[in-house]
A = this chain, B = another copy of it.
Amino acid sequence: MGQPATLKKISSQLNLSISTVSRALKNHPDISENTKRKVKELAALMEYEPNSYAVNLRTNKSKVLGLIVPDISNMFYDSFISAAEKDARKCGYSLLILQSGDDPLQESENLKLCKHYRVDGIMISLAPESCSTELLAKYQEAGISIVFFDKVPAEGDFDTVCIADEEAATIAAHTILKYKKKNILALFGNQELSITKKRRDAFLKILQKEQEVQTQVQYCTKTEDARQQTELALNSSSIPDHIFCMSDEILLGVMKAMKKSDLRIPEDISVLAMSNGFIPGLFNPEISYIETSGYELGKLAMKRMLDNMDNKTEARSIMLPTRLIQGNSL
């Protein structure tokens, strides 16, 4: 019992051929009920399980999907992964999860790993300055389904699933206007990312129509940057009456700076964020936010991947609708 059971071992025990055992276990009509019963009994006893390597070798399918994210340890991505894993499991797929660490080099290494493990599909959120799209296009040619999510390529004919960035930013801008805010500090992330550009452009498109509204845009890649930017603004001659945060990381920095000031939310200054939902609830008052759900995006992306592998539908972009979740910060 030490070594795992194989068809060969079962067949030699029963004085049958390997092929007969294989067919018996698969209910092939050629095999008599009597033989089937005996084979199945022994197989169960020996805890036989087909060797997945051998099966994969023949079928050239692995039932494994590659999932590449910048960092697993991240509110957004971990909920994405959590959702994706659950839905993948339901359809018999497992996930090979790899981190790029926002490094283009490591990203391409990850892709090679996916190739090496011959995954059936790859879901990827790109690193900044990624140069992996050509490689991915080649993989797609070779029959691997590719789904981009969240950080998607700006160009190319690919399957993408992402937050409805323009819509979300538009909702945010309209909400801020509704509350008659006039002096807005808008904090965005890495301005190289298309996600940042999309959100910023849609946001500004609304606000710049209003002549009496002042909007100051700043970019901050990290929480600490956001804290400093906020502190600067709060100590400036024209203190903003509203702060907009493009992400959870930025919101955290803003709130750290707010703690040090004695401005009240929302009486003196209001706050609106775009968030996965966890962080805004931690503050008092709870921060209003436009929901950008990693969990929902994970479900959507996995659905797309599974559809894709069934019936090679053509490439298209899918957006996850967003909505305003009201806290008391506005």
- A284: which of B81, B101, B259 is its contact (CB, 8 Å)? B259
Q: How far is the CB of A86 from chain B (nearest CB, A)?
A: 7
A97 contacts across to B, CB distance below 8 A: 81, 85, 95, 97
Task: Report how far A96 CA is from B62 CA in the complex, Å.
Answer: 13
Task: Verify B99–A96 contact, CB threshold 8 A.
Answer: no
A283 contacts across to B, CB distance below 8 A: 282
A113 contacts across to B, CB distance below 8 A: 94
Question: Is A145 on the interface with B (CB-CB < 8 A)?
Answer: no
- A89, closest chain B residue (CB): B98
Can you list 15 A-B pairs with a CB-CB distance of less than 8 A? Answer: A3-B142, A4-B142, A52-B117, A53-B57, A54-B57, A57-B57, A71-B82, A72-B85, A73-B295, A74-B78, A78-B78, A82-B99, A94-B113, A252-B282, A259-B284
A4 contacts across to B, CB distance below 8 A: 142
A197 contacts across to B, CB distance below 8 A: none
- Within residues 184 to 201 of chain A, which ones have a CB less than 8 A from any CB in chain B? none
Task: Verify B96–A51 contact, CB threshold 8 A.
Answer: no
- A73, closest chain B residue (CB): B82
- A49: which of B71, B116, B282 is its contact (CB, 8 Å)? B116
Task: Verify B51–A2 contact, CB threshold 8 A.
Answer: no
Contacts A72-B72, A99-B82, A141-B2: A53 and B118 contacting too (C-beta < 8 A)?
yes
